[in-house]
Amino acid sequence: MERERRAKKEVTAPGRHRSGAPPPPRVHGRHRSEAAPPVAAVAPPPPRVPLRRLLWVASVACGIQFGWALQLSLLTPYVQELGIPHAFASLVWLCGPLSGLIVQPLVGHLSDRSTSSFGRRRPFIAAGAATIALAVLLVGYSADLGRLLGDPPNGPGRPRAVVVYLLGFWLLDVGNNATQGPCRALLADLAGKDHRRTRIANAYFSLFMALGNILGFATGSYSGWCTLFPFTVSSACSTNCANLKSAFLLDIILLIITTYISISSVQEAPLNSSSVAPYSAEGTEEQLNHGQEAFLWELIGSFRYLTLPVWMVLIVTAFTWIGWFPFILFDTDWMGREIYRGDPDEGQIYQTGVRMGAFALMLNSVVLGFTSVVIEKLCRKLGAGLVWGISNILMSFCFVAMLIISYIAKNADYQSSGLPPDGIVVAALIAFAVLGAPLAVTYSIPYAMVSTRIESLRLGQGLAMGILNLAIVIPQVLVSLGSGPWDQLFGGGNSPAFAVAAVAAFGSGLLAIVGLPRSQIARTRGRR
């Protein structure tokens, strides 16, 4: 017995084994044996991603937003040329919210669980960009394809061209949702848990959106593209149509360049890789284990885990987009119809107003870009919620100013050429330009807030972007369904929809200030 106790004492003596050799290293309180799996090793933390990498990843937003700017400035007037009346023009935009209601949460869910060797997010970014390229070709050549399918050459309506246009329009929004969501999720992955870097990454995304807007609206305001691309003019496609077609061809070129820069600037490790990923998101192992869960059930069930601050971000986002979407629908149409007093079916005055509206949106994008640069400093100084609230109230005042401008233009004496007085045009340009500041906030702060507040719930950044997108597209569905009949009820102009937008924007600003107090906002502040 004494011999056994002595042997046991030698084995359990601190720092030594029975053989006198030092014990093997301990991992989580256990000796590591030769048969221990390699995953039990403590992995080094992922390297800090340089800010310039975040900048290049966000560059795809420039190509996406270039096409989106053309869509905003030219497609509402163009669809009226195809024969859809103004009262139903907003219903065409219903395709976008409905696709976003399903596509972005689904794409976010799939990208969270993607095991592609190309990475988790990058395959969806590339596929979305290819979808956008196909969509803009369908939209640009809708009149030509409609003619080939049997539309009359000079008829008042072109139903087949409208069908092709709607197909392209729907695919365009599918591609936008399939690209932007994974790109924002990739930026959140790369930023990790650093809240400041998350806000900077979203500010980069907003900056490239501003650059794409500037290029896109400048392209839409120029009326001579058909002279540079003469092959775009055809018997079914007039000068305005040819300019639209040429602009979308430029969009495809820019989209290819920016997509390549974005997906080649960082390497993603596959989700099921046994090696340590150079840049990996939290909770990937848990997401892989739950990869077989039904998407819709998981999306609905995820709302049970959302905290009150996340709910407040979603509510403020919803009211914010009730304010933005009437402007997005009718901005250039408002300029051509109510400022220039033109008609889509008569003369060039309306088209002159549309091009001036595109120029105004270019000024809007310049302000958006400058604001994106200073958003991070404003959030650190004032708090993200206060910045968001003030910007939405400013947006409300701009919509009220547009209502006043519409009233003045309705009762003003125009020039003999039919053009509006210079003062009315300048006032409209200023209103459009100032709206760039709150638009920059809308493009960055909600995404940064959701990214930083949802990480503890371990739902995945892709699904988080999909949840936030629901707060954007549901208001868009409501506005698309109601704005046309609402405007028609009050005479067919755009002012009634802008009045609703002003009320919604002001309410969302108050909600952001009151519902997101500084004590909660402080959690989103990063460390330098």
Q: State the residue range of the domain holding 481.
A: 49-266+281-524
Is position 22 within any domain? no
Is position 272 within any domain? no
Is position 35 within any domain? no
| 366 CA to centre of own chain | 18
Q: For residue 411, give every residue at least 6 positions away whose Cβ sits within 8 Å of its Cβ, in sequence order, or none.
A: none
- The structure tokens 């403020």 sit at 316
Q: What is the pLDDT along the chain (528 residues), one digit of tens a residue?
A: 455 555 544 444 444 444 444 444 444 444 444 444 444 444 455 567 788 888 898 899 899 889 888 877 777 777 777 777 665 666 666 666 666 677 777 787 777 777 777 888 888 899 999 999 999 899 888 888 888 888 776 656 678 888 888 888 888 888 887 888 788 888 888 887 677 787 788 788 888 888 888 888 888 778 788 788 888 888 777 777 888 888 889 999 999 999 999 988 887 766 654 433 333 434 433 443 443 344 555 566 666 777 788 888 889 999 999 999 888 878 888 898 889 988 776 667 888 888 898 889 889 989 988 898 888 888 888 888 899 999 999 999 999 999 999 999 988 888 777 789 989 999 999 999 999 999 989 988 888 888 777 665 566 666 677 777 778 888 877 777 766 666 666 566 677 888 889 999 999 999 999 877 553 433 444 433
Is position 324 within any domain? yes
Q: Which string of DSSP letters, residue by residue, matches 499-521?
A: HHHHHHHHHHHHHHHHHS-HHHH
Q: How far apart are CA 17 and CA 2, in angstroms?
A: 19
CB atoms within 10 A of CB 502: 21
Is position 9 within any domain? no
| pLDDT recorded at residue 266 | 81
CB atoms within 10 A of CB 456: 12
Q: How far apart are CA 219 and CA 72, in angstroms?
A: 12
Torsion of CA 431, 437, 443, 446, to 10 degrees: -120
Is position 127 within any domain? yes
DSSP state, residue 343: B
Angle at alpha carbon of residue 44, lines to 42 and 49, rounded to 5°: 150
* CATH label of the domain that carries residue 153: 1.20.1250.20
Q: For residue 247, give every residue at least 6 positions away whose Cβ sits within 8 Å of its Cβ, in sequence order, or none.
A: 70, 74, 140, 216, 219, 220, 225
| pLDDT recorded at residue 30 | 43
Number of domains in the chain: 1
**What is the Cβ-side half-sphere exposure of residue 335, based on CA atoms within 13 angstroms?**
30
Is position 15 within any domain? no
Residue 346: strand, helix, or coil? strand
pTM of the model as a whole:
0.66
Q: How far apart are CA 295 and CA 44, in angstroms?
A: 33
Is position 8 within any domain? no
Q: How far apart are CA 503 and CA 489, in angstroms?
A: 18
Q: How far apart are CA 342 and CA 27, in angstroms?
A: 76
Amino acid at 454: I
With CA atoms as reference, report the closest residue to 463 among 242, 328, 252, 299.
299
Per-residue tokens: 42:
């403590």
| pLDDT recorded at residue 130 | 93
